[in-house]
């Protein structure tokens, strides 16, 4: 089992933030339950700050995990929040995040979302010329300043990413060759141009690929800045830092990435001399700190295979079932949390309670002999878990969520 770092055992049980899982379940009242360990996230952020060059800010991409308590706490740990909808914006504002440090990207911002963003005074990452016109109209009607950055569809891709978001025809951002005209229009409309946003991809474990993408991002931004009416105050260079979901995955070497970024920034052209830079990360900050806890409802044998049936499933943790942007289904790390120290027995299938063959949480997993009532933990559940799952499917109750530690 490739359990992520930071989890231990206590009296034979899996412990999260120093308490056995049974205690967290008792406190929450029921399973299924997502538990997020604040201490692990804090450590992740501290390690990242040590690896990144001084002065490069860290932003949290709220879409990875929008749990309000988590977002509120994150607002105090990172330098900014990136939201992708008016709903996420509401969560960020309600959590007390500073509007000056919130930005909003997303390809289909509706008028009322633009209005909420402009009303709050946050930064809009423009995705198109049409969006600029609509935003400018709304800002003038409200009599509010319009703060914009241009999201650029990069003319390269982040090689080997789980999800590619740049290179070629894309719904995200503005093609590089269209940027000069957009900058002129921003100027003509009297909007406040703050800088650029480039996001090339997600879930990448290769330091080399990230270094190359960051270098190309800075070159692209420098080229676009040469022709801009104003120099960019701020550039969001994206993220894409991946986490090791599977046994063959090697953790990303952030020190190598940070060192190369430092060298690239030290040699940046004069046009970017006064520019501030940030990365924006979702899963890298929170993914490994979350555990999805379910309880075994039934154990049965079919044609020689053992099926451990739990009270959760893909309606809460779609990604672990392999149905959220994966080509080949592989097991997320999973454990019998009630018998965390016990030796594995025959491999078992862990399935959810939904009446669909898609609802598999682990196939042929090396768990100890598992009984009805045991708690099963699925790791790597801190990002794109509950928020990326079809909770209404089959009408079960929503799971609990706890931020602990
Ligand atoms: C999804 C997304 C992120 C977060 O991606 P992770 O892989 O979770 O780090 C950041 N920025 C943008 C623009 C995104 O669309």
What pLDDT, in 10s, does the model give residues 130-154? 999 999 999 999 999 999 999 999 9
* Kind of pairing between the strands at 163-164 and 201-202: antiparallel
**CA 239 to centroid of ligand 1, rounded, Å:** 7
Indicate if ligand 1 lies below 6 Å from the C-beta of 81: no
Indicate if ligand 1 lies below 6 Å from the C-beta of 285: no
pLDDT in tens, 24-68: 999 999 999 999 999 999 999 999 999 999 999 999 999 999 999
Indicate if ligand 1 lies below 6 Å from the C-beta of 252: no
Atom of ligand 1 nearest to the CA of 239: 9
**CA 202 to centroid of ligand 1, rounded, Å:** 6
Domain with CATH 3.20.20.10 in the chain: 105-281
Atom of ligand 1 nearest to the CA of 162: 7
Domain 8-36+288-404 in CATH: superfamily?
Lyase, Ornithine Decarboxylase; Chain A, domain 1 (2.40.37.10)
DSSP states of 137-158: HHHHHHT---EEEEEEE-SS--
pLDDT in tens, 168-213: 889 999 999 999 999 999 999 999 999 999 999 999 999 999 999 9
**CA 332 to centroid of ligand 1, rounded, Å:** 20
Domain with CATH 2.40.37.10 in the chain: 8-36+288-404
Indicate if ligand 1 lies below 6 Å from the C-beta of 104: no
Q: Provide the whole-model pTM.
A: 0.96
Question: Phi, psi (5° rounding) for residue 212?
Answer: -65, -45
Question: Phi, psi (5° rounding) for residue 174?
Answer: -115, 130
Residues 6+ apart with CB under 8 A from 349: 305, 306, 307, 308, 360, 362, 363, 364, 365
Indicate if ligand 1 lies below 6 Å from the C-beta of 151: no
CATH no. for 105-281? 3.20.20.10
Indicate if ligand 1 lies below 6 Å from the C-beta of 383: yes
Please state the three-class secondary structure of 336-382 as a single string.
EHHHCCCCCCCCEEEECCCCCCCCEEEEEECCCCCCCCCEEEECCCC
């Amino acid at each position: 089992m490739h359990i992520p770092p930071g989890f231990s055992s206590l009296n034979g049980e899996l412990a999260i933030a120093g308490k056995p899982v049974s205690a967290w379940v008792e406190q929450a009242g029921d399973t299924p339950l997502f538990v997020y360990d604040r201490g692990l996230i804090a450590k992740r952020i501290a390690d990242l700050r040590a690896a990144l060059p001084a002065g490069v800010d860290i932003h949290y991409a709220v879409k990875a995990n929008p749990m309000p308590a988590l977002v509120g706490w994150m607002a105090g740990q990172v330098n900014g929040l990136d939201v992708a909808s008016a709903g996420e914006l509401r969560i960020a504002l309600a959590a007390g995040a500073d509007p000056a440090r919130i930005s909003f990207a997303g390809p289909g911002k509706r008028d009322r979302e633009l209005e909420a963003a402009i009303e709050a005074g946050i930064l809009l990452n423009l995705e198109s010329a049409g969006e600029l016109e609509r935003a400018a109209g709304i800002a003038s009607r409200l009599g509010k300043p319009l703060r914009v950055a241009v999201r650029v569809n990069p003319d390269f891709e982040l090689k080997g990413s789980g999800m590619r978001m740049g290179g070629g025809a894309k719904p995200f951002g503005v093609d590089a060759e269209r940027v000069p005209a957009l900058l002129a229009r921003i100027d003509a409309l009297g909007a406040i141009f703050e800088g650029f946003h480039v996001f090339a991809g997600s879930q990448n474990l290769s330091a080399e690929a990230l270094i190359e993408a960051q270098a190309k991002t800075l070159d692209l931004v420098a080229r676009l800045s040469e022709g801009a009416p104003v120099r960019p105050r701020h550039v969001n260079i994206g993220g894409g830092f991946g986490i090791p979901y599977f046994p063959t995955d090697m953790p990303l070497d952030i020190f190598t990435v940070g060192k190369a970024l430092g060298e690239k920034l030290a040699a940046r052209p004069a046009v970017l001399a006064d520019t501030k830079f940030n990365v924006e990360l979702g899963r890298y900050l929170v993914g490994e700190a979350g555990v999805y806890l379910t309880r075994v409802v039934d154990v049965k044998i079919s044609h020689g295979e053992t099926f451990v049936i739990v009270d959760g499933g893909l309606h809460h943790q779609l990604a672990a079932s392999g149905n959220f942007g994966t080509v080949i289904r592989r097991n997320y790390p999973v454990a019998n949390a009630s018998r965390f120290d016990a030796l594995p027995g025959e491999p078992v299938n862990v399935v959810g309670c939904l009446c669909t063959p898609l609802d598999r949480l682990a196939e042929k997993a090396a768990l100890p002999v598992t009984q009805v009532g045991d708690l099963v933990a699925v790791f790597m559940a801190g990002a794109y878990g509950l928020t990326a799952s079809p909770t209404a499917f089959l009408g079960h109750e929503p799971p609990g969520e706890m931020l602990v530690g």
